[in-house]
Every structure is written in C-alpha cells, then in structure tokens.
Amino acid sequence: AAMREHRIKKTKTVCTYCGVGCSFHVWTKGRKVLKVEPHPESPANGISTCVKGKFGWDFVNSEERLTKPLIREGDHFREAEWEEALQLIADRLTEIKETDGPDATAFISSSKCTNEESYLMQKFARAVIGTNNIDNCSRYCQSPATQGLFRTVGYGGDSGSIRDIATADLVIVIGSNTAESHPVLATRVKRAQKLNGQKLIVADLRRHEMAERADIFLHPRAGSDLVWLSAVTKYIIDKGWHDTRFLEERVNGFEEYVASLEPFTLEYAEEVTGIPRATLIRVAEAIRDADTTCVLWAMGVTQQQGGSNTSTAISNLLLVTGNYGRPGTGAYPLRGHNNVQGASDFGSMPNNFPGYESVTDDAVRARYEQAWGVELPKEPGMNNHNMVNAIHDGKLKALYIIGEDMGIVDSNINYVQAAFEKLDFFVVQDIFLTKTAEYADVVLPGSPSLEKEGTFTNTERRIQRLYRALEPLGDSKPDWMILRDLANVMGANWHYEHPSEIMDEAAKLAPLFAGVTYERLEGYNSLQWPVTEDGKDSPLLYTERFNFPDGKARLYPLEWIEPDGTDDEYDLHVNNGRLLEHFHEGNMTYKVEGIRAKTPQAFVEVSPELAKERGLKDGTLVRLQSRYGAVKVRAFITDRVKGHELYLPMNDAGEAAVNRLTGSKTDVETNTPAYKDVAVKMDVLETE
C-alpha cells in the first residue's frame, strides 16, 4: 500500500463545477491532486479547461471535510458510526410516515451528484417512503427554460452540441455572463467570432465581457426580455422574413400566435424595455441575414416571475425563423451545475419519473410499480418552494437534502432557515458542514466526484463517465452507497454493487436512456440523449420531428409578466451572478487557497452615476436593505453597471449573502425564485 501511495495515478473524470462538462485526466499521488490534463478526445472541451476545472480541487482534502456521520445532541453534534446513524434515520422516517403519512417527508437531491444517485434518491422517495415529494436544485435555476422548451419543441435540453454553436452565423446571448459562468463554451464563441466572422448579439443588464464583444449590445430594463423578443419576432413576421415553409410543414398554431403578438409593437417595446427601436430593427435584420441563429440563455432570463414565458418567447422566435434542426441553430439554456441536467433527467422531480415521464400517467406508473414491486403515489409531489411553505404550515415534518446548501442558495433565506428550525427531523448529506447542515438532526458524510464512479450529463445532454481517482476520505461514502444502505436498513433489499447496475435499471425503465450502458460510455466515449436501444444517440435534436405525437412544434402565445421592480423607497435594482473564480455560494471554491486569495472580499458593483449621486468611493461600506433582509458590503465603482442598477456576486455565504435580500416571488409556472427581481435602498455606513 505504501508503494501505491507514491505512484502517480491518472484517472479520467468530469469537472465538478459548471454544466459545460469538461472532461480530463486528473493526476493524483496518494490523496494529492497534482494536475489536470485535458484530453484532445474530450467531446465538450478538447484541450481547454478554465481556472476552476484546472485548479479547483484542493477542497477534496480540506480539513473541513466531513469524515464521520454526525448526530445532534442538544445544540451540538457528536460523531457516530454509520450503523447507528442509518438506524436512527430509518426509525425516525418510519415513525413520521406512520403518524403523518408518506407526504410528510420530502427529498432534495443534488445536481453535484451523479445520475445514478439522482435515480436512487427518487427511487428512495417513491418506492421506500411512498411520496413524490422529490426535487432538485434546477428549481433554483433552469426549470423555466425546461418549461419553455417542453411547451414548444418537446425536450427540456439544449437542441444541439456545444461544438455546433461555433458553426452558427449568429449567436444571441441573453442574461448570461457566459465568459465567467461557462468559460470554455464562451471560448468557442470568441474563437468563432474571430475565425468565422460569427455575429454576436448580447442582451444583459451588465456590460460584462460578452457584452463588450457583441456586435449589438442590448440593455433592456430588468425583467423585460420577453417584450423585446416578441417585438422582434412580430417585426420579422410583419416584414415577411419568417420561414413560411418551415412553419407550414413543421409547426402548429401560427395564426393564433400571430394574433397574440399584436401588442408587441416596436413602440411599445421601446417604451417598456428602453431599447431604441432602431436597435431592435438591427436585431431583426441580423436574424434575417443569418442562415443559422442559435440562442444561449441563463439565469438572467429564468430567475424572474416571467422566466418560463421568456424562455418560451426565445423558442417561439427560433420557430418562426426556422432555426431548429440544423447545426448552428436552436435553443441552448446553459445549465449551471455540472449535473443540473442529469438531476432532472433521472427523475428527481415531483411530477416526473426518469426520462420526463409523468407520475400521473397510469401506464408509466404501472411499469415502475412492476419493476420495483411496490404501489406508487399517483399525485405529483411538492417542489422545493412548496416544501418550505409546507414546513411553515406544519404539513411537512421531515426533510432529507443531499449536497445542497439550501439555507444559503434559496431565496429569502431568513424564511428558509426559520423553516429548518420547525422540522421534526432533518437529514443533510454533504461533504462539508454547510450552513444548511448546521440545522440538521443527522449529517451524513458524502463523497465528492473524485471519490466515486458514475455519470454526469452536461448542458448538451451528453452523458459522460467519471472514474474513481481517490478513496473516500475517512468514513465518508459515495452518496449512492449511503442511499442503498439506508434503503436496506428500511427493508428495501437493494443489491447494487456498482453504479453501472443502477444505470442498467434506469435504461431498462426510461425510454429516453434505452441504449445507455457503461460499455458505451467507456473512457472518453459519451452519449447524448435520447439514446435508442441499439445505442444510437442524438447530438442534434429535431432534424425531422419535434417531440410531440404529431411531430410538429407548437408556437405558444404569451403575455408579459411585469416584474415588481423598484419604487420610491426601494429605489435600486440588484442584479446578481457569478464570478469566474468561484462557484455559487463558494462552498468548494472558497476552500481552495489560490482562488480565495484572488477575490477575498465581497463587493457590490455600483455605477459611476450612482456613486456620484450618493457620494460613494471605491471601498465605501454600504448597507443594502430589501423588503426581506439586509447585507453589508463594500462598493466597487464600475461602468459595467448603469444608473440605479447594482450587481452583487453570489458567492458569499456570510454577511453579504445575496439571498438575504431576495424575496419569495417566483416564476409563475415553475416556482423558480425570482432572484433577479430585487429592489433595495442603500445606506452609506462609512467611507474608507
């Protein structure tokens, strides 16, 4: 064993950070991560990686890793053995199920975990406990995009591959700071601009790097993207620039849709969005002149009360202009976490089994009942948002969260943390004692990706294998093993010895993954769903048919949902998002010394105009107060933001946590929090 400690081991893995899904070999010696070596055959990234994928691994050896199960005793935790911790969880969940029914318990699985783990978590909720109360963190980000695509084209995923984006004549990026959030994907766009003369249109509240590179930059008022998108679409139709043949052959509902566009004139759009008419016409002309247009979007679109509708408006525009089914066309909602796509794909959703088949469909349910040998609940369960409300209402007694710092990343965290305190029983499974875990009754030590086998699905629906580079630290265990062991303590008799067996079961049950096997995913091989039984995958969707029974897409009439916005008292709008160096609330990246040193202090970006108006300097300490809470943070003056717009990076989990400010309004379709619709007032505390 000592010999082995000194050997350098190279293991193929997939990045644990963003949804681009870069894969590479990681070099390790003992527990030390020496370096990351990209591989030319890697489908998403080739030989590129960003700073997080390259250097962001020290957290796996952090002193703060959980290495033992913890059981609450009064106001502290004591270490315990697995047997005791699992028995306690089994007893308490059984008790609550018997007294309050299966729906008094809920589960949240992690988009940092593997597909196999998402599958097991939903199976545990449905088959062992008997509830559909299961969700995952795509509820915080991309559910509205999925909803917009379900309505119009039928699959909730990117329509093509990342590589295809480089072949587009025109790329439109909306509400995405791609250069910092999806760096390697952004590099492809930058290269295509330079080499192929690709045109770029960017719509955002902030003049970030992508905006600087854009041929046309749109600066719409917060939450008004649907209006300019619909106005551009209407203008295209009015001018006769729409793709008549595509619409006739492949799309339903054109007449009704055209009628619904009536209010969206250029005049109205200019008034609502603040984007000059002439600029909107330039956008329409650019789409007309491009043979292939694709749209990339992210949280700036989805985290709004009208997030689903705006995502739908994007898809409508693509349909009207015939921009689906060819390389370089289509819809690219950019998934945030490495496996946010897979967590939903593999059934951690309150309304769907794996592969997006409804729990209310009797035939589908019967298939699962037969395979699992249990009767399954017929009604959809609660989503994350409803879970928090149900805890406050006393209907939900127990919560089990894997790998999600919900007490920091949900909106209106004061309300969420108050809910945690009301729970009868709370289990958190994670790699660190997160803020959320501090509220738990039992904390179970899971493993990060380098310590497990399994698969992740990136933003382009690509399923890729990761291999184990390190042994689990201390007594921690891969999350699928913990779920299996717990299910067995509760009498489930699960026999999985390797994640491949879990994938085999999922592939047998969910037609979307019919031909997915570990053999077909060996090494750098990958599969983009849907995958037919003979192993044929689908890099490009909708080449012949859309995913509806008649094969035709559906145009979807929409109304604009006006955001709450600012008022006389709360007169500043706060936008929020990522920094390149950090990942979300920073639970992992803040434990990497080199990364922490680059961005040590929380700041809020303030426009030069506002700085002048309020007498702010760089470094002035300010207090931002919303209707829900307050943060203290230092001002950083930059012309990346304009007027009364502020930008607060979201990677602080402490004093400056943005979710102390965000409210309880959500996207009306999916309950995704409207994180981007925050109004605050500002007090100046001290000038440095």
- Please report how close the Cβ of residue 37 comes to ligand SF4 at its closest, in angstroms: 13
In the structure, how many helices (H) and strands (E) does the chain have? 25, 28
Q: Is the Cβ of residue 313 or residue 595 nearer to ligand SF4 in the bound state?
A: 595
- Please report how close the Cβ of residue 24 comes to ligand SF4 at its closest, in angstroms: 8
- The SS3 call for residue 287 is helix
Q: Is the Cβ of residue 15 or residue 106 nearer to ligand SF4 in the bound state?
A: 15
User: Minimal CB distance to ligand SF4: which residue?
Assistant: 53
- Please report how close the Cβ of residue 456 comes to ligand SF4 at its closest, in angstroms: 10
* Half-sphere CA count of 282, side-chain side, radius 13 A: 15
Binding-site ranges for ligand SF4 (CB under 6 A)? 15, 17-18, 20-22, 45, 49-50, 52-53, 182-184
Q: How far is CA 83 from CA 70, 80, 124, 341, in A?
A: 12, 8, 18, 33
Q: Is the Cβ of residue 18 or residue 364 nearer to ligand SF4 in the bound state?
A: 18
Q: Is the Cβ of residue 53 or residue 300 nearer to ligand SF4 in the bound state?
A: 53
Distance CA 58, CA 466 (A): 18
Question: Residues 6 or more apart from 120 whose CB is under 8 A from it?
Answer: 480, 483, 484, 487, 496, 502
- Please report how close the Cβ of residue 250 comes to ligand SF4 at its closest, in angstroms: 33
Structural element, H or E, at residue 53:
helix 51-55
Q: Is the Cβ of residue 140 or residue 456 nearer to ligand SF4 in the bound state?
A: 456
- Please report how close the Cβ of residue 19 comes to ligand SF4 at its closest, in angstroms: 7
Q: Is the Cβ of residue 15 or residue 171 nearer to ligand SF4 in the bound state?
A: 15
Distance CA 130, CA 442 (A): 21
Q: Is the Cβ of residue 405 or residue 460 nearer to ligand SF4 in the bound state?
A: 460
Peptide bond connecting 327 to the previous residue in cis, omega within 30 degrees of 0: no
Q: Is the Cβ of residue 183 or residue 649 nearer to ligand SF4 in the bound state?
A: 183
- Please report how close the Cβ of residue 182 comes to ligand SF4 at its closest, in angstroms: 6
Q: How far is CA 453 from CA 46, 428, 477, 653, in A?
A: 22, 21, 11, 30
- Please report how close the Cβ of residue 155 comes to ligand SF4 at its closest, in angstroms: 22
Distance CA 385, CA 476 (A): 30
Q: Is the Cβ of residue 24 or residue 426 nearer to ligand SF4 in the bound state?
A: 24
User: In a 10 Å sphere around its CB, with 0-12 CB exposed, 13-18 middle and 19+ buried, how is residue 416 labelled?
Assistant: buried
User: In a 10 Å sphere around its CB, with 0-12 CB exposed, 13-18 middle and 19+ buried, how is residue 194 labelled?
Assistant: exposed
Q: How far is CA 82 from CA 73, 79, 128, 496, 596, in A?
A: 16, 10, 19, 18, 33
Task: Write out the two tokens for 441.
Answer: 């009754």
Q: Is the Cβ of residue 8 or residue 47 nearer to ligand SF4 in the bound state?
A: 47
- Please report how close the Cβ of residue 334 comes to ligand SF4 at its closest, in angstroms: 10
Distance CA 664, CA 381 (A): 20
- Please report how close the Cβ of residue 23 comes to ligand SF4 at its closest, in angstroms: 9
- Please report how close the Cβ of residue 582 comes to ligand SF4 at its closest, in angstroms: 11
Other beta carbons within 10 Å of 150: 19
